[in-house]
Amino acid sequence: MTVMRKRFSSVCSSSSAEEDSASLYDSVPISASDPPSEQEHPYASLLCCHRVQDSLLSSNSSFTRYRGILNWIIILLVLTHAHLFLENFIQHGFLIDVKKVLEHLIEDNCNWPSVNLILAANMFAITALLLERSQEKGMLSPTNTHRLHLTNLGLLLLFPAAVIVHEPTISTGGAFFSLWFYTALGMKLYSYQETNRWYRQADAETDKNVSVAQKAPGQHLTLQDLYYFLLAPTLCYQRDFPCTPKVRINKLLHRLLEMVIVIQIMVGIVQQWIEPIFQRSENSFSSMDITMRVEHLVGLVAPTHFLWLLVFFLSHSYLNFCAELLRFGDRHFYGDWWNATTLITFWKHWNIPCQKWCHRHVYTRLVEKNVPPSRAELLVFLMSAALCECMIALPLHSCRLWIFLMMIFELMVAVFLGNYFQGNYGNGLVWLCLLLGPPLAVTTYFHDHYISFHRHHHQSSSSPLTSDHRLPGAVFLQAH
């Protein structure tokens, strides 16, 4: 009896080891030509049905096939938000009107200050080109050229800010577009002058007959080369960009259709979902009590997050559209940030062109000046946070530091909680910060701007000195 029990236990252990090593019955057929090393008990498969293994959903399990759960989550989200859309439609009716968007773009008296502001940016680009040509010909010293470049860049940053602040006829949409355009232009022109300086230094250290670039010295300083770089979907300059063989018209039209559809969906979310929440408010976020503030923020989490994801997809379509049109080869605009397990990984993968520019022209330069790498990374992050704050606060004429403080809070979360949340838990923390982070802070800016815009039009329409004698309903429609 003892011998038979030992024999059964040895059979169970051997079969368990075989099952752990590989699923023989799934992948390797049993062949009669392979003689068993030991006589197997005829009921071994029935007697031994257990082995050491973890549950599939445990952290020790190597199971990764969660596609069914993902499909269930997608269906549940669609059904849940379909209920919200239906409830919103029953309560507010159909609010989507593309014409209202034009009210935030059309400017008074057909002056189009934002268009004139963008056209005026050409003088800063041409000035940078003339300075590079002057230095190439020996008319200016490197020191004077560098100082003039910095002066040109300083004026480039101050000029749109002054126009946005002091020009009353510029629209909100025009102010946003102009400021983003000038910010990208300033980063491009800084990379343009610094990269050309690196090329000259490299040429000076090598033999005169051997050029580091494929083009001869001075041949790249042309309007065509400059404006190709300014239109290309990159912030970092180099003399020769990788190019694709031809423009694929089907891909071009596909990206264009994506942009049109995504913009329509964004307009629908703003007008049908976010604007009714704004209409229920009578005070700004800064003057609300804590209960009302939390209630509004909770209601804005879902639409704000969807809008943020659509902005990302719109940038994806736009950058690929420009790259396809210009045959620009490097289309690594973002990494798999959705799989990031830490906020630092997310920041590195979220916006590759901007991250590449910061690393090339800010972080590396600071490290070369003996700044510790950790402090250099902190300075780059603070610069990015301040820039994000200015990009939203300046066109809306209100600076409350909500975006800057929210990014600082995320940095503290990344530093103090990064070691405790790793793997799937770290990815969950990243998504939680995306839901409750800077995108929600941006929405609070627009909430207060909406409230002040409505109050201004309401007061101007109710004032006896105003020249607008339209019905209150018409004024309400214009305000919204």
Q: Which of 301, 313, 371 is nearest to 337 (CA)?
A: 313
Q: What is the 3-state secondary structure (H, E, C) of 241-290?
A: CCECCCCCHHHHHHHHHHHHHHHHHHHHHHHHHHHHHHHCCCCCHHHCCH
Provide the CA 301 distance to its chain's centre, in angstroms. Answer: 17
Convert the pLDDT of each residue in 372-428 to its tens digit. 999 999 999 999 999 999 999 999 888 888 899 999 999 998 888 878 888 888 888
Q: What's the pLDDT band for 20 if we cut at 50, 70, 90?
A: very low
Helices (H) and strands (E) in the chain, counts: 20, 0
- Phi and psi, residue 224, nearest 5°: -65, -45
The predicted structure's pLDDT at residue 320: 94
The predicted structure's pLDDT at residue 9: 52
Number of CB atoms found within 10 A of residue 348's CB = 17
Convert the pLDDT of each residue in 183-240 to its tens digit. 999 999 999 999 999 888 887 776 555 544 444 556 788 899 999 999 999 999 998 8
pTM of the shown model: 0.77
Q: Which residue has the tokens 């003339």?
A: 130
